[in-house]
Structure 1
Amino acid sequence: MIKSVYLSGPMTGIQGFNYPAFNSAAAQLRAAGIRVCSPAEYPHDGPLEDFPIRDAFASYCDFICYAADAVVLLDGWETSDGARVEKALADRIGVPTITLAAALSGGGIDIIKPVGFGNDGVARIAAERSRHLSKEGFTPEKDARHRFGEMAAAAACYALICSGRAAYSNVAPIARATVEFWPWDSAWWKPSADSRRNLEKAGALIAAEIDRLDRLEFNS
């Protein structure tokens, strides 16, 4: 029996951050006697740019891991990076991901095949991006200094060496990427023998550049 759920769904880019859908779902679930953790209810009264994103996601993940009987995926969750990562987390630890209707009926099944081998690229990239923030100290403030596409160039370098060949010449791809394209000091160039690891780094850097451009547009 489902007694406690986490609500997951699209927010970014939707009017009002999709709060009406989250609030409606939460109200229905609570009326059915189900405990709900909703990201739309995370306490924050300040401006959007000051939202404590790390603290918030730490709280969400803690609830999914230790308190949720299921993760309820709202309509449009497939388009949300955050929701897909939350589903990947739930799949990995064995927490069912179900529809709102299934939760209200007291049961339900996984909406889609659980994320597993061959289907967890998004989760890998998200984990690497999280490591950048929590372990490497690559904060939004530091990312903002890279105003000339350096993060995109670095991502291209990590992706390039996975191609198995260098573009335009016979020079070894690692050497070519390092010498011609790498935007920072060579001490920061840390390719792996595992192509998947390099692609995780490339994906995380692309995500960081997208976030930087989004913040730039928001603050302009």
Structure 2
Amino acid sequence: MTSAGESLLAASPADQVSSAARDVLAERRRQIEAEGYDPEHDDAHGCGEIAAMAALYAMPPAVRNWCAESTGYGATFGEAILPHGWAAKLGGRRRELVKAGALILAEIERIDRASAPKMIFDSPPCAGVARPLAPGKEQA
């Protein structure tokens, strides 16, 4: 985040957060609680599906109908970007953008979890002592 963005957030009390930001966070909470799209679910979608779904909702509705036959993934941009086996629940424009924002948040959180150091436990003599897993190494 830029220093200007950090300053803006630091200067904004929680009660001055916009209704748009509150709606995105509430939608993310709804996705977790009502749909079951919790971190474990999201972590199983590491091939860009969550970001693609966010892009679909953020895409202007008319653009979804543009020809995309040359991609080999669908006749329209909307069909081409929709992850296989997923279904969009399209509605009002603001609602779609709120869903897009919540999905972007979910994807950022998934990326952050994926890049966090994994902890492993040593065998004796250091049994029970957690240490970060070396990059590129998998636990045996």
The two structures have a TM-score, normalised by structure 1, of 0.42
Distance (whole Å) between structure 1 residues aligned to residue 76 and residue 117 of structure 2: 36
Amino acid at match of 1:209: E
Amino acid at match of 1:78: L
Distance (whole Å) between structure 1 residues aligned to residue 67 and residue 81 of structure 2: 16
Task: From 183, 186, 189, give the equivalent of 2:83.
Answer: 183
Structure 1 pair 184/128, CA: closer, same or farther in 2 (3 Å)?
farther
Task: From 98, 101, 106, give the equivalent of 1:200.
Answer: 98
Give the secondary structure class of the aligned counterpart of 2:63.
coil
Query: Contact (CA 8 Å) 1:159, 1:198: kept in 2 or not?
Result: yes
Distance (whole Å) between structure 1 residues aligned to residue 65 and residue 100 of structure 2: 21
Deviation at 1:178, TM superposition (A): 3.8
Task: From 212, 217, 220, give the equivalent of 2:110.
Answer: 212
Query: Contact (CA 8 Å) 2:49, 2:83: kept in 1 or not?
Result: yes
- Between the aligned residues of both structures, percent identity stands at 35
* Equivalent runs, 1:68-217 vs 2, <5 Å: 78=9, 87=14, 90=15, 114=16, 119-160=18-59, 163-166=60-63, 169=66, 176-186=76-86, 188-192=87-91, 194-217=92-115
RMSD of aligned alpha carbons:
3.0
Structure 1 pair 167/185, CA: closer, same or farther in 2 (3 Å)?
closer
Structure 1 pair 158/177, CA: closer, same or farther in 2 (3 Å)?
farther
Structure 1 pair 76/177, CA: closer, same or farther in 2 (3 Å)?
same
More contact order relative to length (CA 8 Å, sep ≥ 6): 2
Gaps of 5+ in 2: 1-5, 69-74, 119-140
Give the secondary structure class of the aligned counterpart of 1:219.
coil
Distance (whole Å) between structure 1 residues aligned to residue 66 and residue 78 of structure 2: 14
Query: Contact (CA 8 Å) 2:67, 2:76: kept in 1 or not?
Result: no
Distance (whole Å) between structure 1 residues aligned to residue 84 and residue 31 of structure 2: 16
- Could you report, residue by residue, the CA deviation over 1:48-106 in whole angstroms, capped at 9, with x for unpaired residues? xxxxxxxxxxxxxxxxxxxxxxxxxxx96815xxxx7x82xx4xxxxxxxxxxxxxxxx
The two structures have a TM-score, normalised by structure 2, of 0.64
Deviation at 1:154, TM superposition (A): 0.4
Give the secondary structure class of the aligned counterpart of 1:212.
helix
Structure 1 pair 130/77, CA: closer, same or farther in 2 (3 Å)?
farther
